[in-house]
Amino acid sequence: MLRKQKLTLASVFFTFFVDNLCWSIVFPIFAPFFLDHHNRLFSADVSVTERTTILGLFLMAFSLGQFFGSPFLGEYADRRGRRRALVVSVFFTFIGLGLSAFAMQFGILWLLFVSRLLTGVFASNIPICLACVVDVSPDEKAKIRLFGYLSVLVGLSFILGAFVGGKLSDPSLNPLFSPHLPLWLAAGLTVINFLFVLFYFRETAEVHPDVKYDFLEGFHNIQKALKTEKIKRVYAIYFLFLFAWTLLFQFTPVLVVEKYHFSNSNIADLAIFMGICWAIGSGYLTKFLQKRFSSTVVLEVCLIAFTLLCGLIVLPKALWIVLTVLGFSVILAGLAWPLCTGLISSLAPRHIQGKILGISQSMQSLAMAIAPVVGGLVYRGKAGAPFLIAAGAGLLASILYFSAVKKR
């Protein structure tokens, strides 16, 4: 029995790792690919402004898929079992990745949009993985320890995925490399993941066939957030912060490609730098500061400093200064994200923690879906415009925090 449980946990961890890897592997790819005047998606006369607008809409597709897919897969897991939900989600993630690779290879724009939307819907199995960990944890300490392992996997998978994606998509390093090669690799890893779940995962929870599906649960969660008087302003702050962070994260590749002519390989190196900065902020620095200051004080400083740095990143001309500002921005974001989540959790009664954090997930997906569209629309040939919008969102979040939350 112990061996079966270990294999089940290994399946969950592998699924969690591959899911995050497949998300991060495309980070260095899409911005250079859409801005490349030699790709087959567009005719050569399509302007940079038009390309970035389409890129913004394209980047929205994955997060929009998650917005709808995450609640649906969670309900499917309750109704039909964790194992079946993972099998279905991993299989269709493979289909989505394969179609994305095919669409990039042959320059089919509409199929690329559809495939990313499909991948977003079914690459939403992280909540299922978390639920499986809770199912098999004998006590609270074991659960926290396993969650800690998953957190480490997030950092490792992002760094590894972005590095592999950037290097294997850069033909200047090797003529056999191409922008679609990392997606084929990700699809191959998903096949291995599918077989692992199919043969080694054992059901961890009872099924509840009476659970009703709600395809609009993401919207309903937003409605609940707006009606939850005690914490609705905190949700607004959380949304604005994530909106600003997504603009910074998604349009940094556009900035360095346009301003400093970064290649895919260069963006992979940049992703490693950002991953390390995030780990410093969310890991070591969080523990260090919480021993010396209250969480509210740290969050206040983070919001203000993050806002200032988002606006400053567009001013320097020297690359090393831009990277320094970017690094500190990412460190602050790594600090602020768990603090915002903790603030939401602390304001909610214990018996509705699951619902409250589920609403937070919907807010996160919505922010990550809207931000790329806004960034693409305001770009208009000015690489700094999305970062100024991010600074504006951060400023609004700070004002809202000090006027509505700090007074409580």
Considering the domain architecture, whether residues 121 and 188 belong to the same structural domain is answered as: yes
The last residue of one of the domains, among 147, 170, 202, is 202
Task: Classify residue 116: in a domain, yes or no.
Answer: yes
Residue 353, pLDDT score: 45
Considering the domain architecture, whether residues 174 and 319 belong to the same structural domain is answered as: no
Residue 324, pLDDT > 90, answer: yes
Write down the mean pLDDT value for the chain. 80
pTM value is: 0.76
Q: Are 300 and 336 in contact (CB under 8 A)?
A: no
Task: Classify residue 213: in a domain, yes or no.
Answer: no
Residue showing tokens 């301003």 = 259
Considering the domain architecture, whether residues 176 and 280 belong to the same structural domain is answered as: no
**Calpha distance 238→344 (Å, rounded):** 9
Task: Classify residue 257: in a domain, yes or no.
Answer: yes
Which stretch, 62-66, 189-193, 311-315, has highest mean pLDDT?
189-193
Residue 1, pLDDT > 70, answer: no
Considering the domain architecture, whether residues 117 and 40 belong to the same structural domain is answered as: yes
Cα dist. 107→52, 180, 254 in Å?
A: 17, 10, 20
Task: Classify residue 58: in a domain, yes or no.
Answer: yes
**Calpha distance 303→239 (Å, rounded):** 13
| Residue pLDDT, tens place only, 176-217 | 999 999 999 999 999 999 998 888 888 776 665 555 555 555
Considering the domain architecture, whether residues 390 and 284 belong to the same structural domain is answered as: yes
Considering the domain architecture, whether residues 402 and 304 belong to the same structural domain is answered as: yes
The last residue of one of the domains, among 175, 202, 229, is 202
Residue 227, pLDDT > 70, answer: no
Considering the domain architecture, whether residues 188 and 292 belong to the same structural domain is answered as: no
Considering the domain architecture, whether residues 254 and 115 belong to the same structural domain is answered as: no
Task: Classify residue 237: in a domain, yes or no.
Answer: yes
Residue 370, pLDDT > 80, answer: yes
Which stretch, 55-69, 366-380, 384-398, has highest mean pLDDT?
384-398
Considering the domain architecture, whether residues 30 and 151 belong to the same structural domain is answered as: yes
Considering the domain architecture, whether residues 55 and 192 belong to the same structural domain is answered as: yes
Residues of the domain holding 3: 1-202
Least confident of 89-98, 126-135, 325-334: 126-135
Q: How many independent structural domains does the chain possess?
A: 2
Considering the domain architecture, whether residues 300 and 173 belong to the same structural domain is answered as: no
Task: Classify residue 215: in a domain, yes or no.
Answer: no
Residue 36, pLDDT > 80, answer: yes
Task: Classify residue 27: in a domain, yes or no.
Answer: yes
Residue 151, pLDDT score: 67
Residues 6+ apart with CB under 8 A from 288: none
Q: Higher-confidence residue: 346 or 263?
A: 263
The last residue of one of the domains, among 169, 202, 235, is 202
Least Cα distance to 97 among 134, 65, 123 occurs for 123
Task: Classify residue 270: in a domain, yes or no.
Answer: yes
Secondary structure (DSSP) of 284-347: IIHHHHHTTS-HHHHHHHHHHHHHHHHHHTTS--SHHHHHHHHHHHHHHHHHHHHHHHHHHHHH
**Calpha distance 183→164 (Å, rounded):** 10
What is the domain-level CATH number for residue 113? 1.20.1250.20
Considering the domain architecture, whether residues 338 and 248 belong to the same structural domain is answered as: yes
